[in-house]
Structure 1
């Protein structure tokens, strides 16, 4: 197993670690600002999530740079991403920091685009991530971290950064999903 695939597998193993710290909400250390509390375990969860999310770019870079692209890695990498994002979104719903409809919308988009990619792969077509999809991913990470931290440290100035990023995340998620299907509608025509 090559290094890129090991990093991807490590990302999968970080998913339960993120969720454990996020839902544990152990207050060995906590910050309360404007009646919003962020616990130490939530901060650890956010840090582990950032490391896991950053590993996505790292494993892809290593695979391309060292020419280590494998079918196993091509299958596992997007699966690891979906597991991480879905687990955190569902946890944020459980914590009442994210409306369920947003989590459902984002997870549905991820499955729909994955399905499109699978259809394309069966036809021998590789769908590269578009610029808007990369912005969507970045925005998702920023929004989820802000929600995990309950808007800390921006809550010091009273600006609802987490809420703003949550809606930006929704807009870019929908936009990038529509963009994938519009730009690749010929794939759907081929399979009908």
Structure 2
């Protein structure tokens, strides 16, 4: 007979439980049929209890995640998943060809550009679980935008532009080897023009 109490704490958590937790934390709740948008500690503990019949508190689940270098971070909102990478690469190749041609015959250069103002991702700021040092990317939705179009030839007109946009556009031209400077105008219809 043993009179002394056994040493060491009894652990409910198994390796299988931890492996399952690591798989679930990388999935969106919607992938598993839930309507909520992110995993809270309580939801994780409840879901894992249903699957494994091991009931842990949210705090215990949080400690496991911390040991595995997971943290609760602000999500990064992005439109990357809406991009067509093949079209993007084809455009880059075509653009570099145009830039080379414009260096050989700069007089024939026509500068056109498109930009947006009032552009934002319509999102609710949320935190989500992710590995330390890496933010989860969450798809944002474009709310509204105003297209700014450019003209052709030696003068390009910018409408509804701010000083920062002028600066950015001039920087983009300079990177392409086009050394034009931007001059703001005081009229309402044309706020700036490019002078070769």
TM-score computed with the length of structure 1 as normaliser: 0.24
Q: Which has the larger radius of gyration?
A: 2
Q: Which has the higher contact order (CA 8 A, sep 6+)?
A: 1
